[in-house]
Amino acid sequence: MRSDFGRSDFGPSDPELHPLIAQRWSPRALVPTATVPDEALRSMLEAARWAPSWGNTQPARYLVGRRGDATFGAIFETLSRGNKSWAGAAAVLLLACAVTVNEKGDLPLPEYGVGLATENLVLQAVAKGFVAHQMGGFDRDAARSAFALPDDVRPLVVVAIGVLGSPDLLPEERRERETRPRQRLPLAELAFTDTWGKPARF
């Protein structure tokens, strides 16, 4: 379900980037009446399921809430005040957690595994015409309590999924941030060769 508020004017310009990567961003303006069909949501979670992980340990788990149900409400209540100001318009809220132990003992790099799975999920959301915004601003202790999380499960991030709406849907103080150009560090500050800090050349 695509909206009329696509932002092709402010994304990456490198023509080598896959369109799904170029189109992915983290908006806050969401259509408050939009829904995500079961088929689309299932496909996002399938994308997460097929992400790589250390030794195929698959540490990622998701609590799934749809707007109006109890799980959505419980996830929403854990959010920071700033995130509450817009995330209620999401069609879906997910609480992404890491399982840190299995029958063999502690899992290596479980947070990395959840990150890989969640990026898969987000890119699948873009492929289906939706947007997703990942949030670290939530009360982890409240999440543990609300969902009776076991001690070996670590809540990491909340993901809001929905349909992109007009920036006018946001409180005035958030509209400018919604429309400003995205920026990233230059590649020379990310990729090195020979020694730390020496830019790799391409």
- 31-68 core/surface letters (b: 16 or more CB in 10 A; e: else): beebbbeeebbebbbebbeebebeeebbbbbbbbbbbe
Rg over alpha carbons for the chain, rounded to the nearest Å, is 18
How many CB atoms neighbour CB 197 within 10 A? 8
pTM: 0.91
Taking a C-beta distance cutoff of 8 angstroms, is the pair 144, 155 a contact? yes
CA distance 116 to 82: 26
CA dist 106 and 102 (Å) reads: 7
Per-residue pLDDT of the chain (202 residues; tens, 9 = 90+): 545 455 544 556 577 899 999 999 999 999 999 999 999 999 999 999 999 999 999 999 999 999 999 999 999 999 999 999 999 999 999 999 999 999 999 999 999 999 999 999 999 999 999 999 999 999 999 999 999 999 999 999 999 999 999 998 888 778 888 888 888 899 999 999 999 999 999 8
Distance between start and end Cα atoms, the chain: 38
